Amino acid sequence: MHRHLPDPASADHKTLRARVAELVKVFEKNKGPHRFQNRRDPMAGLVQTLLTHNTTDPNAFEAFDRMKERYPEWKDVHKAPVKELAETIRIAGLNNQKADRIQKLLGFVKQTYGDYTADVLDGMDFDTAMKTFGHLPGVKQKTLAVVLAFDLGVDVFPVDTHVHRLCRRLGFVPDSYDPVKTFKAMRDLVPKGKSYQFHMHLIWHGRKTCQARNPKCDSCFAREQCLYYQTLQDGTITGVKE
């Protein structure tokens, strides 16, 4: 007889918070603690994250390296002919749009802070960061959450494809949610100080065990706390939530 896990569409906030906190502990017990270690330059983080949109990480990183090789200073990237910059980062795809976005971002920081720096983000909370940078093309909540969490160690929980899938399968948010709604919901559900660790644990789990197709539920240490697994046992599952 397994536990009856609540439906996230009707469960109250307190119940969902307790469920997430329980899973944070389950992952910590099985995978150990995972702490933020190295601060990285948020200016580079923003540009690199803009390059990752709609492409693979290796292509985005390659585009970033080619860009920095051709234009070693941010001012060179900013002042480069936009078509030439687009050509340089072609491997990242959507290169005309990305070149324009990168130059708009650099133009904004130069005009606002007098230099090509995004250090103002250091220690900034997510809402303030959104007010400060969110009006720039391409700099939306996922981009800012990624830079704050991974470059600066701010306690915010980014939601990418893997994390979105896991949050729905585990039963933290309804299956119908899109990544933006999941991000908003999870902001109130992840225990304070655990965002970075839990995000990394879910990414790892999504790659190794809870893949989009054919999740390995039988060998999953989180199955007793997983709504998807429960519905699988009940025979109520209607399809694999990818």
Q: Which stretch binds ligand SF4 (CB under 6 A): 72-80, 108-116, 177-185, 211-219?
A: 211-219
When the beta carbons of 190 and 226 are compared against ligand SF4, the nearer one is 226
**Binding-residue pattern over the window 160 to 189 for ligand SF4, x denoting contact by CB under 6 A:** ---------xx-------------------
Q: What are phi and psi of 234, to 5 degrees?
A: -75, -15
Q: Which stretch binds ligand SF4 (CB under 6 A): 14-22, 53-61, 130-138, 210-218?
A: 210-218
Residue 126 CA to residue 147 CA, distance in Å, equals 10
Q: Do 88 and 70 touch, CB atoms closer than 8 A?
A: yes
When the beta carbons of 60 and 226 are compared against ligand SF4, the nearer one is 226
Name the token pair of 144. 């800012």
Q: Which stretch binds ligand SF4 (CB under 6 A): 3-11, 91-99, 130-138, 214-222?
A: 214-222
User: Of the candidates 36, 120, 217, 231, which one interacts with ligand SF4 according to CB under 6 A?
Assistant: 217
Name the token pair of 25. 């502990």
User: Of the candidates 80, 147, 189, 226, which one interacts with ligand SF4 according to CB under 6 A?
Assistant: 226
Residue 220 binds ligand SF4 (CB under 6 A): yes
Nearest approach in angstroms of CB 35 to ligand SF4 is: 23
When the beta carbons of 101 and 205 are compared against ligand SF4, the nearer one is 205
Q: Kindly calculate the radius of gyration of the chain based on its CA atoms and give it in whole angstroms.
A: 20
Q: Which residues contact 186 (CB under 8 A, 6 or more apart)?
A: 20, 157, 159, 167, 172, 173
Residue 204 CA to residue 210 CA, distance in Å, equals 9
Q: Do 158 and 149 touch, CB atoms closer than 8 A?
A: yes
